[in-house]
Amino acid sequence: INVQLNIMSFLSPQDLCNLGSTSCYWRVAVQDPLLWRYFLLRDLPLWTSVDWKSLPDVEVFNKAFSEVSDNVLYDYMAVYKKSCPQGRRSLKSSRPRYGAVTSFLQSLVTQPEPRFAMFGPGLEELDDSLVQKMMTCPEILLVAGLPQRQIHGNAGFGFHFTLKIKFFALSVNLTTEISFSVERRRARAEQAVAVNKMFYQENSIAGNQQAGHYSVIAQVKKVCEVVDGFIYVANAEAHRKHDRQEELARMLAMIDPALGPPNRPLLVLSCVSHTGVKRIPCVYMAHQLQLNLLHQPWMVQDTVAATLAGLLNGIEWLLEEANCKNVQ
């Protein structure tokens, strides 16, 4: 058995599933939980996206393996198939397609372009500007209409995702990444944190500890009331220090259900400046930001600011989720 497990550990998960379809013996053999836990821990850092339905429990890869308890608590094979991007795509393709019907129905009504509020430390802290690249890379995202528009004093840009779909990305980061301000450049050169003027802090006492609670300023609050979803740009560069508790507090202030319709989707772009930078894997990013505490659909997508790699995958998911919500 040990020899069989050793051999199977060199197969891909897809090949392992094919092996399991050859006989009853191999069907049982390939379901060994230790084998699939090995695959999970090996492949999980390489996945480029994870969402609210597929995030594996943190205990699956943090605690030591126990053959007695884990066989009962965790089906590692099922966890792997549910969490890996290939498994999510196959589940998505197997759903009934109502796209043609909904497209026809929506064509009868004038639909405003979806609007998304973009914010987060990855807009300021990275050496390459994600927004600047989005504005100057027409082969990936074509700017639609006027180069710059505003909602309640906040600058935004319209983009063509496809020939038929437009969306509006609204920057609500007032330091600001749109104008590439002197303040932002100086803070980055001095390795300091630029003052974020979107939020104000309300301190409260929780037990024996002082807990920080943020609210957004009135100008940003008006934006949050009218957008169809949110794009949070996280700094995923492993060599930098990150205060994820602070980030979560500010994120919760932006997506507060009291500021607009509930269940608006949240896309987290786990962003690095360029491909040579070591990144925090997206699954770890989801757990660091404690996205499992959120009550709306979310997805974390690995993104590279210099090339926009991964951006279109995230935008496609966000448009799909926003469209489903509108149809409902």
Concatenated DSSP letters of 218-247: HHHHHHHTT-SEEEEEEE-BTTS---HHHH
134 and 174 part of one domain: yes
pLDDT value of position 97: 47
Assess whether pLDDT exceeds 70 at residue 223: yes
CATH of the domain at 295: 3.40.50.300
Q: How far apart, in whole angstroms, are the C-alpha atoms of residue 117 and residue 154? A: 10
Q: Which two tokens stand for residue 128?
A: 């390459």
Domain annotation covers residue 23: yes
Assess whether pLDDT exceeds 80 at residue 196: no
Q: Residue 169: which H helix or E strand, with range?
A: strand 166-171
Assess whether pLDDT exceeds 70 at residue 293: yes
What one-letter code names the amino acid at 247? E
Domain annotation covers residue 110: no
130 and 263 part of one domain: yes
133 and 204 part of one domain: yes
pLDDT value of position 288: 95
Q: Which of 23-37, 171-185, 216-230 shows the lowest per-residue confidence on average (mean pLDDT)?
A: 171-185
205 and 236 part of one domain: yes
pLDDT value of position 69: 58
pLDDT value of position 280: 96
pLDDT in tens, 32-49: 888 898 899 899 999 999
What total number of domains does the chain contain? 2
Question: Do 236 and 122 form a contact (C-beta atoms < 8 A)?
Answer: yes
pLDDT in tens, 152-194: 555 566 777 765 566 767 666 534 444 444 444 555 555 544 4
Q: How confident is the model at residue 89 (pLDDT cuts 50, 70, 90)?
A: confident
Concatenated DSSP letters of 8-63: HTTS-HHHHHHHHTS-HHHHHHTT-HHHHHHHHHHHGGG-SEEETTTPPPHHHHHS
pLDDT in tens, 251-283: 999 999 999 988 999 999 999 999 999 999 999
Q: Residue 151: which H helix or E strand, with range?
A: strand 149-151
Question: Cα dist. 188→57, 102, 184, 239, 250 in Å?
Answer: 35, 46, 6, 15, 21
pLDDT value of position 154: 57
User: What's the chain's length in residues?
Assistant: 328
pLDDT: which is higher, 204 or 21 = 21
Domain annotation covers residue 47: yes
Residues facing residue 235 across a β-bridge: 271
pLDDT value of position 185: 54
Domain annotation covers residue 69: no
Domain annotation covers residue 106: no
pLDDT value of position 155: 56
Residue ranges making up the domain that contains 51: 1-64+74-94
Q: Residue 88: which H helix or E strand, with range?
A: helix 85-93
84 and 214 part of one domain: no
Question: Do 211 and 205 form a contact (C-beta atoms < 8 A)?
Answer: yes
292: left (phi over 0), alpha (psi -120 to 50) or beta: alpha
Question: Cα dist. 299→16, 37, 145, 207 in Å?
Answer: 28, 23, 28, 33
pLDDT value of position 167: 72
Q: Which two tokens stand for residue 38?
A: 């090995």
Domain annotation covers residue 318: yes
pLDDT in tens, 49-74: 999 999 998 877 777 766 555 555 67
Domain annotation covers residue 35: yes
124 and 27 part of one domain: no
Question: Do 303 and 316 form a contact (C-beta atoms < 8 A)?
Answer: no
166 and 278 part of one domain: yes
Of 15, 62, 55, 17, the C-alpha closest to 37 is 62
Domain annotation covers residue 100: no
